[in-house]
Amino acid sequence: MKYFLLLTIITGFVFSASAAVSPFKWTWERKGGKVEIYVDIPPGHYLYQDQTQIEIKQFSGKTLPPYSQPPAVIHDDPFSGKVKVYPPGGKNVWTFLSPDPGVYMVTINYLGCKDKTANSPALCFLPETQKIIVSGETTESSPATEDVATPMPEQLSKLLSTFKIERAASGYLAPDAFESFLAENDVSDKSIFSDKSMLMIILLILLGGLGLNLTPCVLPMVPVNLAIIGAGSQAGSRRKGFLMGAIYGSGITLAYGALGIIAVLTGAKFGALNSQAWFNFAVAAVFIALALAMFDIFNIDFSRFGAKFSPKDSQRGRLVTAFMMGAIAALLAGACVAPVVIAVLLYSARVYSEGNPAGLLLPLLLGAGMALPWPLVGAGMAVIPKPGAWMVRVKIIFGILIAAAGLWYGYTAVTLLPSKASTAVAAEQIPVLETALRRSAAENKPVLIDFWASWCKNCTKMESTTFKTPEVMQKLDDFIVVKFNAEKMDGKDIKPVLDYFKIIGLPTYVIISPPGE
């Protein structure tokens, strides 16, 4: 019942969040020295003219005056009488002249209502504010977002505005795949889910989630997983082993799904938790405590839940532990951004932006795929012989492995603590990137930006494998390579660049071309 209630709470959060989203969709274009701001007003809805203001500022503080605005009409409003509104349908567009190629901050304040229908009364929505960072040249509508990018240094923004983003890729790429990425000239914007039936999309997401168990972030967790699920003797029967695995899997599903939903709703970076010292300290503490429990040094007492749990205590306590550790495993897996994760998040955001809240369930489905094997693993453990002296040795081995994992996360946490050295490294990334951009423009050579971090296991795997192969090294000679250290993804010198390139997680590789190439 406890886990059912938790699932209900999270599901309620998802749909309450979707219900609170404004029905007015804002987009923007920048072309031909103009910035155009559009709003899509659904049928039966309208925006008050006097409550809708759009302001565009350069980061120097200069404000752009509006060049043109959409026409308003008189509407007999049940709340305010006859007022001027922007009605549904037609082309509601605000135009601003932007002769400078720099970066602009757009602030949109608006208030809208919907008319009375046969099934619902008239309703006014809460006043809202949306922010947009306008940078570079685009001839296609881009969605507005409430997740406002921190402004980057003006010199860097001016340099980047003259470059074209050719393509990007994320996650661990084998040498052949990375060579194809480097050599690609015409990259299609199609998702792997394009032109697929819903049944095929669900199957692909489940298989992608299943594959997450093979990433460098999850594989080291295997001994921890086995110890928590039961390591054979604790299961006692196939039924109990299956239950332990299912509870562990439910922790994975809910936590990983919630992480994905937050990323879709807020634009948060996937894996950003792993860049926080406090999170790594917390994981280290949990692992060390579990290791000590494996050594029977003490029992972890959750008596207020009516149970004590350690490897030899009650079934209920082990279920709570399994659920918690499943959630932790999912959060740790967030540091490994596999290509399928990016594809699912982008597709989920697209479906959701089209007005279908069911799109928010796709990250949950990805978590379910990741959780899929663990009930079967738990059931399979029940066939292991009954405990004996050998089981004590297994517990000690698992305890050592869990303690080693705890020490590793503790070390990672220490390296992420604020220091003059880490601040200097972050600040150095901007001038390094600026220098590469100037060199690229002078030599008419494309730039490859490799966004990485030391806590990102896929990043370190790329560095020790793919980037070391002779074929890849040879192809990299055709690029100006920038290793951009994004250790602190929310840092004031790092976040603006990640926001500019719309980076969801690490590692991410972006190829940009200079003007005139």
Q: Please state the domain extents for the chain.
A: 23-148, 164-190+419-513, 193-416
Using the predicted structure, report yes or no on whether residue 421 has a pLDDT greater than 60: no
Using DSSP bridges, classify how beta strands 112-114 and 45-48 pair: parallel, antiparallel or unpaired.
antiparallel
Chain mean position to CA 360: 13
Q: Is 23-148's fold the same as 164-190+419-513's? A: no
Average pLDDT over residues 28-37: 85
- Which overall architecture, per CATH, does domain 164-190+419-513 show? 3-Layer(aba) Sandwich (3.40)
d(CA 391, CA 384): 10
In the chain the first and final C-alpha atoms are separated, in Å, by 62
Identify the pLDDT of residue 509. Answer: 95
197-242 residue pLDDT tens:
888 988 999 998 888 888 877 877 777 777 767 644 455 677 887 8
Average pLDDT over residues 348-374: 83
Q: Shortest CA distance to 207 belongs to which of 377, 343, 375, 11?
A: 343
Identify the pLDDT of residue 149. Answer: 47
Average pLDDT over residues 418-422: 61
Q: Which DSSP string do the residues of 460-495 spell out, in sequence order? A: HHHHHTGGGSHHHHHHHTTSEEEEEE-SSTT-TTTH
Cβ atoms of 256 and 363 within 8 Å: the answer is yes
Cβ atoms of 2 and 9 within 8 Å: the answer is no
pLDDT range class, residue 450, cuts 50, 70, 90: very high
pLDDT higher at 266 or 499: 499
Identify the pLDDT of residue 146. Answer: 43
Average pLDDT of the chain? 78
- If you search the block for the tokens 């029967």, which residue do you land on? 237
Positive or negative: CA dihedral 210, 243, 238, 384: positive
Cβ atoms of 381 and 246 within 8 Å: the answer is no
Cβ atoms of 154 and 489 within 8 Å: the answer is no
Per CATH, is 23-148 categorized as 2.60.40.1250? yes
Average pLDDT over residues 261-288: 80
pTM: 0.60
141-189 residue pLDDT tens:
445 544 444 567 778 888 888 899 999 888 888 999 999 999 874 444 4
